[in-house]
């Protein structure tokens, strides 16, 4: 007995030193488990989310949790655009470590019966997302004439968008340079809340992180971890879906296009921290 009690303190000292070393390792302050054994994550400066998912794109299949839009046509001509656009599964591939979302080049939508430009889209299975921090690591195609981006959507009045407009001649790219647009769509039928950042020169060759934080009180938009815009008006309050897409409808005031050559948006990784209305928790 006497011997044991004299050994014990030195063991505790050793363990204590080990713990000190572990805590001294660098931490990712953006992503910390709130409690051991819980899915909850604390996102610094934003809050706690009960769900998280990280999607990467090894192999050739879309990871569980994401789906491809197929045969979904958006009737932009009803709103005055030259063409409609239609999301087809054939324009989405998982290849070379990327989710690849394409608008095929050289389309002649005027010759198709529905005047639709073929495009691509992916969305979350979960349609009950209510508040989130979503980061998309992607390379956008600089082929002029598409809109590439990631967005939250419930309806046209409950929507948050990050959209890269690749065509320098788009009237929305007010500086005459391809730009990234950060937008809350109007929640009350009024004006959207929107602004733009001229795209990094290497947007087409280097992965950048495009991030939206959405809470009850605000949306905040980040490029490579640097805050670009924060809005406290037109903040959606209803649950919906997260999507990624690449499309065009020929509208000179927005997407322009269709593109002369293949436009391929390449997503390396998606990280999502989010709450849902179902109250279910998951972390993958
Ligand atoms: C997410 O839900 C949890 C549990 O209800 C809540 O404590 C937390 O504040 C919510 N996060 C945000 C950003 O609203």
Closest CA to 211 of 267, 273, 133, 274: 133
Query: Can you give the pLDDT at residue 31?
Result: 52
Task: Return d(Cα 141, Cα 101) in angstroms, integer.
Answer: 10
Q: Is 281 in the pocket of ligand 1 (CB under 6 A)?
A: no
CA of 48 to the centre of ligand 1 (A): 5
Cβ of 241 below 6 Å from ligand 1: no
What is the CA(47)–ligand 1 centre distance, in A? Answer: 7
Tens digits of per-residue pLDDT, 48-60? 999 999 999 999 9
Choose one of 34, 44, 131 to mutate for the ligand 1 pocket test, by most ligand atoms within 8 angstroms of C-beta. 131
Query: Global pTM?
Result: 0.88
Q: What is the pLDDT of residue 5?
A: 37
Q: Give the angle subtended at the CA of 224 by the CAs of 60 and 158, to the nearest 5°.
A: 75
What is residue 44's predicted lDDT score, i.e. its pLDDT? 87
Atom of ligand 1 nearest to the CA of 46: 13
Give the mutation target among 50, 133, 214, 276 for probing the ligand 1 site: most ligand atoms within 8 A of CB: 50
For the CA of 47, the nearest atom of ligand 1: 13
Pocket test for ligand 1, best of 275, 277, 279, 280 (most atoms within 8 A of CB): 275
Q: Which helix (H) or strand (E) holds 10?
A: helix 2-24
Å from CA of 44 to ligand 1 middle: 13
| pLDDT digit string, tens, across residues 124-153 | 999 999 999 999 999 999 999 999 999 999
**Would you call 127 helix, strand, or coil by DSSP?**
coil
φ, ψ at 91 (rounded to 5°):
-95, 5
CA dist., res. 64 & res. 39, Å (int) = 18
Cross-strand pairs, 269? 56, 137
Instruction: Report the pLDDT value the prediction gives residue 36, as an integer from 0 to 100.
Output: 59
pLDDT of residue 238: 98
Intervals of the chain under pLDDT 70? 1-37
Q: Is the CB of 47 under 6 A from ligand 1?
A: yes
> Ligand 1 in contact with 131 (CB < 6 A)?
yes
Question: Does the C-beta of 215 come closer than 6 Å to ligand 1?
Answer: yes
pLDDT given at position 33: 54
Distance between Cα 54 and ligand 1 center (Å): 19
């Amino acid at each position: 007995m006497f011997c044991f009690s004299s050994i014990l303190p030195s063991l505790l000292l050793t363990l204590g030193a080990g713990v000190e070393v572990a805590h001294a390792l660098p931490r990712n302050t953006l992503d910390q488990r709130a409690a051991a054994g819980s899915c909850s994550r604390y996102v610094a400066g934003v809050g706690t989310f009960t769900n998280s998912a990280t999607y990467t794109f090894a192999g050739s299949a879309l990871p569980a949790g994401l789906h491809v839009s197929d045969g979904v046509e958006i009737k932009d001509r009803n709103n005055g655009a030259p063409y409609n656009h239609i999301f087809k599964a054939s324009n989405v591939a998982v290849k070379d470590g990327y989710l690849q979302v394409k608008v095929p080049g050289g389309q002649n939508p005027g010759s198709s019966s529905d005047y639709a430009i073929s495009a691509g889209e992916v969305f979350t299975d979960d349609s009950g997302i209510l508040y989130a921090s979503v980061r998309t690591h992607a390379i956008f195609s600089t082929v002029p004439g598409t809109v590439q981006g990631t967005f939250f959507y419930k309806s046209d009045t409950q929507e948050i968008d990050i959209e890269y407009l690749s065509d320098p001649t788009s009237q929305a790219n007010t500086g005459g340079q391809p730009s990234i647009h950060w937008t809350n769509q109007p929640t009350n039928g009024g004006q959207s809340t929107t602004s733009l950042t001229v795209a990094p020169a290497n947007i087409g060759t280097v992965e950048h992180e495009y991030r939206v934080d959405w809470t009850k009180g605000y949306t905040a938009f980040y490029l490579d971890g640097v805050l670009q815009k924060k809005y406290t008006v037109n903040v959606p309050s209803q649950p919906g879906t997260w999507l990624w897409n690449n499309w065009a409808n020929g509208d000179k005031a927005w997407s322009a296009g269709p593109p002369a050559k293949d436009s391929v948006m390449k997503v390396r990784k998606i990280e999502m921290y989010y709450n849902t209305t179902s109250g279910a928790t998951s972390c993958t």
